[in-house]
Amino acid sequence: MRYLPLTDADRGDMLARIGAASIDDLFADIPRDKRLTHLLDLPRRQGEMQVERLLGKMAARNMAAGSVPFFVGAGAYRHHVPASVDHLIQRSEFLTSYTPYQPEIAQGTLQYLFEFQTQVAELTGMEVANASMYDGSTATGEAVLMAHRVTRRRKAVLSGGLHPHYAAVVRTLSAMAEDKVETLSPDVRAQEDIIAHIDNETSCVVVQTPDVFGNLRDLTAIGEACRAKGALLIAVFTEAVSLGLVSPPGAMGADIAVGEGQSIGNGLIYGGPYVGLFTAKSKYVRQMPGRLCGETVDAEGKRGYVLTLSTREQHIRRDKATSNICTNSGLCVLAFTIHMTLLGAAGLQRLARINHANAVKLAEALSAVKGVEVLNQSFFNEFTLRLSRPASATVEALARKDVLGGVPVSRLLPKAGLDDLLIIASTEVNTDEDRAALVTALKEVL
Amino acid sequence: MLNNQGRPTSAGSAAMTEAHPTFTGNRALMQEEALIFEIGRAGTTGVDLDEPAQFKSRLGGLERKQELTLPGLTEPEAMRHYVRLSQKNYGIDTGIFPLGSCTMKHNPRLNERMARLPGFGDLHPLQPLSTVQGALELMQDLSRWLIELTGMEAVALSPKAGAHGELCGMMAIKTAIAARGESRKIVLVPESAHGTNPATAALIGFTVKTVPARPDGTVDPAVVKSLLSPDVAALMLTNPNTCGLFERDVVEIAEAVHAAGAFFYADGANFNAIAGKARPGDLGCDAMHINLHKTFSTPHGGGGPGSGPVVLSHRLARFAPVPFLRRDGEKLTLVEEVEDATGTEQPFGRLTAFHGQMGMFVRALAYMLSHGIDGVRQASEDAVLNANYVRACLADLMSLPYGNKPCMHEALFDDAWFKDTGVTTLDFAKAMIDEGYHPMTVYFPLVVHGAMLVEPTESESKASLDLFIATLRDLALAVKRGDTARFVGAPYHAPRRRLDETRAARQPVLRWTKPQPVAEAAE
């Protein structure tokens, strides 16, 4: 077996050295009647070529995003990732290393975590960022729990513009922890009055911008209302590239800002792994979940980095920890930070402008299609359409014409009576030909 | 010492690095590397993009006004920066990485290639299901492997990591208890458990009660029975446990837990010791997460991403969270919303956006298909054999807390043998770094004083283990002879000497900030 270096001769010698008659002597603590004496009903070993053939066949049954005009968003975005990013994250020393528990031989990981934390804090306009969470949705769940710890209250208010999956994650976690959640109804046109829902029991208000329908929201007044009632404002974003062009959470009074970092450096990968960004005001740092990397010096006074403030964490505090999280998204963090470093502020801002320009062009083109209405007053690279027929059937029909044309709102909110709404995104990867193909196909299927 | 050409073959002690400081601070291949904020330049970018033509902004007045000061690097500069950083890291491909409980086995590169096929890597999670049938088929095949290997009823694939899987399993248990109209508050956790177990239970409102171990390092069924009551919701048990021992009374423990109306959660972190040899379902387990990044070798990536599917028994299967797979004739579909459940399905909710760590599913299935069930079983046996070999070859020098008897996939030593030497477990670990090894897990499990938990995995050859053992023997003998300088100041040869963790925690510096000009700072 190509991955197992021991030979039968080695195995024999080693058993002799151990003083065991057979390998099964070493498994003697497993109750005899529970030991498997035969091989389970599963395939036997195969060579690289066979495995490649098998999985290649499976992969070929899928419609790869890059093979067709592609306009799907709603929480995950297709961007161009420079070739050097994927090359660098596959360096063995990054790929095959562990959580940096021995900092003297993990300065590579620790330094990029420190650089990442700085980049994320700068991007969001927040004071402190952690070393990442699993993804944007779980980061949002953790943000709500953190707000409960900070305020010693247990009720969250969720905006109707929050991604429905994110809201479902918060509701699940809260139901289990026996905390209260109020979810406002789907707010397609960003018209809700969330401030009216803040009371003296409210621990936090969770608002997404750009929201799931693509609208940009000014959070300033919500932040002020939160402060007046002793609640925290949690700002959420699912499209990190937007921060290059739109007002960041830190400039709008967010106490905690969380989001999905996938769109910088990371592919779509059918939903994961992604990278959750988690930021806050520094006064709350000791209530933050997850790993934090900090600067220090070594025995010779040289600058170095370590994981720090770990007395918040499960491996030290056990049932008193701020979270049960153990891993972060190390390699996805690395992809994010390399891409961010290549872009720099200048590149990110230009990338964001291209995204916005492409979405504006698409919105203009689609507005001219009969049976299509663009609902948004404002947007970044994503907006919502009202169609003259159900969005779900439309998207299926578009797929048959080899166009991946957006996300029906009914897929995220099946029983909300919003069957005619379609969320559509356009990033820098779309060409004029792609947009023309969508417009043509849409005219045919509507 | 001279060879027969008369040239020196050894640099000799005068040539020690200390005597030869360099101008740059570099040591040949080991390069010092500044932060990107110190080497990058404002306005520089390593990505060529064309400025879009004039267009009418639709930002609704919410343009960013806050300055964005992130420096950029061109591609050659970026390559150098990250390659230099990588050279300060130790990985499995560098050498043996015997972190107990973490399972640092070889990461096959075929798996990386498969995960990058556009048909897997370039799929959007919300594409129409008709366009992702191959992806769903892959998830279905992975599910079949996990269910068959564990002898369980169902699997929830969406948890993002081991601790997230624990959360999933415990939520299913909490839901099942509520469905019976009960409210049980206590979760029993052995003192040797991973910290994530009590943290998970507490996160969703359970009270944790600790189960002490008996002198041989395993859980005593009599003690479990004495702690069971109508208020106990579950027992969380790692098996093999974190001392590297199989809980031999697991069946009796499971029966007692079930008889008390509670559930048996198994922490599957150590499943790699028994995969293909025994099935948790046959041992009475109700829920167990499987760390795909341990048993099925998806790369640890410097601390993630992980993946933690949870297998569920017939008692819990119907409470699995959305999304889950359903076969509809020829077609596979995903049930994505709680409202779409039918029949007996009672999903407890949703754990994450989308469907889980697809990139890790591809890698794990590639591992399974490559090994086959015969290879999986062989891997378990080799992992256990390697650990026992290390134990047997070091038992005369290093102390074993539970005696010199067979272990599973990891060998646990304590610090009793350091008594009065002035050397600690931490010092010993740091001296291993100088020898070119990543240390084993230290100070865990907490039940053993100065614990050193060695997990060689099945990826090590006998020659590699022999050199590792010889090195540890040399170090152990140095401890015993009183050569403490080799330990207390270690590491001497790593990119950094020992780092001041107290200072990092007392005066946290969690991001780079622009240094103040000297004149200003002096004011």
Chain segment A38-76, per-residue pLDDT in tens: 999 999 999 999 999 999 999 999 999 999 999 999 999
pLDDT greater than 70 at residue B13: no
| pLDDT (average), residues A139-162 | 98
Pairs of residues, one from chain A and one from chain B, whose beta carbons lie less than 8 Å apart: 716
Nearest CA in chain B to A142: B203
pLDDT greater than 50 at residue A440: yes
What spatial distance separates the first Cα and last Cα of chain B, rounded to whole Å?
Answer: 59
Helix (H, G, I), strand (E, B) or coil at B402: coil
- Tell me whether residues A273 and B340 touch, CB distance under 8 A: no
Question: For residue B334, what are the domain limits?
Answer: 110-366
Q: Looking at residue B280, what is its pLDDT?
A: 98
Q: Looking at residue A109, what is its pLDDT?
A: 98
Q: How confident is the model at residue B17 (pLDDT cuts 50, 70, 90)?
A: very low
Q: Evaluate whether B292 touches B306 at the Cβ level (below 8 Å).
A: yes
| pLDDT (average), residues B146-158 | 98
Token code pair at residue A126: 């927040």
CATH number at residue B233: 3.40.640.10
| pLDDT (average), residues A145-156 | 97
Measured between CB atoms, does A181 come within 8 Å of chain B?
no
Residue B109, C-beta contacts closer than 8 angstroms, at least 6 positions apart: none
| pLDDT (average), residues B245-257 | 98
Residue B470 falls in which region: left (phi positive, over 0), alpha (psi -120 to 50) or beta: alpha
**Total residue length of chain B:** 523
Residue B344 lies in a domain: yes
Q: How many Å separate Cα A71 from the centre of its chain?
A: 18
pLDDT greater than 60 at residue A203: yes
Share of chain B above pLDDT 90, in %: 92
Q: How confident is the model at residue B520 (pLDDT cuts 50, 70, 90)?
A: low
In terms of Cβ atoms closer than 10 Å to its own Cβ (0-12, 13-18, 19+), residue A66 is middle
Q: How confident is the model at residue B521 (pLDDT cuts 50, 70, 90)?
A: very low
Q: In the CATH scheme, what is the homologous superfamily, with its name and number, of domain A65-81+345-445? A: Aspartate Aminotransferase, domain 1 (3.90.1150.10)
Residue B506 lies in a domain: no
Chain A residues touching B342 at Cβ < 8 A: none
Mutate to test the interface with B, among A3, A70, A80, A146 (most CBs of B within 10 A): A3
Q: Looking at residue A314, what is its pLDDT?
A: 84
Residue B69 lies in a domain: no
Q: Looking at residue B16, what is its pLDDT?
A: 47
Q: Give the distance between the most distant pair of CA atoms in chain A.
A: 82
Q: Evaluate whether A173 touches B205 at the Cβ level (below 8 Å).
A: no
Where do the H-state alpha helices sit in B395-481? 425-434, 462-481
Residue A18 falls in which region: left (phi positive, over 0), alpha (psi -120 to 50) or beta: alpha
pLDDT greater than 80 at residue B157: yes
Chain A residues touching B305 at Cβ < 8 A: 134, 272-273, 275, 327, 329-332
Residue B508 lies in a domain: no
pLDDT greater than 90 at residue B104: yes
| pLDDT (average), residues B307-331 | 96
Token code pair at residue A353: 């402008």
Task: Provide the shortest C-alpha distance from residue A223 to chain B (in Å).
Answer: 16
How many structural domains does chain B have?
1
In one letter, which amino acid is A74?
Answer: A
- Tell me whether residues A34 and B283 touch, CB distance under 8 A: yes
Q: How far apart are CA A338 and CA A112, in angstroms?
A: 9
Q: Looking at residue A326, what is its pLDDT?
A: 83
Helix (H, G, I), strand (E, B) or coil at B172: helix
Q: How confident is the model at residue B18 (pLDDT cuts 50, 70, 90)?
A: low
Mean pLDDT (chain A, rounded) = 97
pLDDT greater than 60 at residue B3: no
Q: Where are the domains of chain A?
A: 65-81+345-445, 83-339
Q: Looking at residue A389, what is its pLDDT?
A: 97
pLDDT greater than 50 at residue B108: yes
| pLDDT (average), residues B454-471 | 98
Global pTM value? 0.97
Where do the H-state alpha helices sit in A178-246? 220-229
Chain A 335-364, residues with CB within 8 Å of chain B CB atoms: 338, 340-351, 353-354, 356-361, 363
Which CATH code, of 1.10.645.10, 1.10.3720.10, 3.40.640.10, 1.20.910.10, is assigned to A83-339? 3.40.640.10
Measured between CB atoms, does A45 come within 8 Å of chain B?
yes
CA distances from B367 to B104, B270, B293, B295 (A): 14, 17, 11, 10
- Dump pLDDT digits (tens) for B396-439: 999 999 999 999 999 999 999 999 999 999 999 999 999 999 99
Q: How far apart are CA A270 and CA B142, in angstroms?
A: 15
pLDDT greater than 70 at residue A32: yes
